[in-house]
Amino acid sequence: MTVTEPTTVPDTVTALDAARADLRARLLRDGVLVDIGSPGLYGRTGVFERVYGAVDAAAVRSQADLDAEVLRFPPVEPLAAFERTDYIASFPDLAAAVSGFAGDNRDHRALLAARERGERWESFLEPADLMLTPAVCHPLYGLLSGDLPVGGRTFDVLGDSFRREPSLDPMRLQAFHMHEFVHVGTAASARAHRDGRIASIRDTLESFGLEIDVVPANDPFFGRVGQVLARSQVEQSLKYEFVTPVYGPDHPATAIGSANLHEDHFGSAFAIRSADGEVAHSACVAFGLERVTIALFAAHGTDPDRWPAGVRAALAL
């Protein structure tokens, strides 16, 4: 019988946790982020915003040749649209809903009495038919039902994303932003968009002085069925991630961007047809803006004025 020493895994986990705690402490101590009392939620200071703005502007410059149509959405989406994305089937643990008070005076008195007793009062709120948007391209597809023009359409979508994954890893936030470049068209044009953007995104992130790998990846599908979905996503090369070793070469690298092929998932859910009469296919590439920003602070320090000249030039800082 072989006895396996149970040392390596726990040690690695502990070292990674320590590295995460270190980075978090440094960002808070040096006044980059502000702790607002809940894991994965932070206030952001001037120095954070300066770098974040520069990252976003550079991301936009890198995709300017797409001449994408600009669209912005609120951080919440109607339940009916959320429903059609099937997100709740795949990621129930990450989803979050908005609720509101819809009661009368009696209900209000009961809420206040519970609050007075120091009890939780959220159970007095009711579902408001609104979900927090988990992926910023989701609200787009509902606008495209019907026929697309020849060549499809390409969009620039920046927005809030909420995922219920509280963590003390400063790279894993609950509320963050993605800048996405989304194409909806034929199977061929969607794939060409996804594949064609990888080089410019990689070059852009590398110009920031970050070490980048592009690797096949899967989304964190929930449960046992989810494991099958995740495996098939990798086997079919539907998702690539731009990863960087924020916590050094001994720990897994973190995704700061992604390039995704949805095939006809959204086309069929939202009844979108490409000009050739087929169900539309879609693809999106995403810059995770906070993750790129924090990866920069981790790689170059918390004072951007002391970053290498080439990095500052690439960011126009």
User: Closest approach of Cβ 246 to ligand AMP, in Å?
Assistant: 11
Instruction: Please state, in angstroms and rounded to a whole number, the distance separating the CA atoms of residues 315 and 311.
Output: 6
63 binds ligand AMP (CB under 6 A): no
288 binds ligand AMP (CB under 6 A): yes
Residues 147 to 166: which contact ligand AMP by CB under 6 A?
163, 165
284 binds Zn ion (CB under 5 A): yes
148 binds Zn ion (CB under 5 A): no
Residues 108 to 137: which contact ligand AMP by CB under 6 A?
135
Sign of CA dihedral 274, 268, 241, 162: positive
Q: Is 100 helix (H, G, I), strand (E, B) or coil?
A: strand
User: Closest approach of Cβ 128 to ligand AMP, in Å?
Assistant: 24
Helices (H), the chain: 8-29, 46-62, 79-85, 87-90, 105-116, 138-141, 187-207, 223-235, 265-269, 289-300, 309-314
Residue showing the smallest CB distance to ligand AMP in the complex: 288
x/- letters, 252..271, toward ligand AMP (CB under 6 A): ---xxxx-------------
User: By C-beta, is 269 or 286 nearer to ligand AMP?
Assistant: 286
DSSP 121-186: -GGG-EEEEEEE-SSTTHHHHGGG-EEPPTT-EEEEEEEEEE-----S-TT--SEEEEEEEEEEE-
Residues 123 to 142: which contact Zn ion by CB under 5 A?
135, 137
Beta bridge partners of 126: 100
DSSP 27: H
191 binds ligand AMP (CB under 6 A): no
Residue 137 binds which entry of ligand AMP, Zn ion, none, with Cβ cut-offs from 5 to 8 Å by kind? Zn ion
Residue 54 binds which entry of Zn ion, ligand AMP, none, with Cβ cut-offs from 5 to 8 Å by kind? none
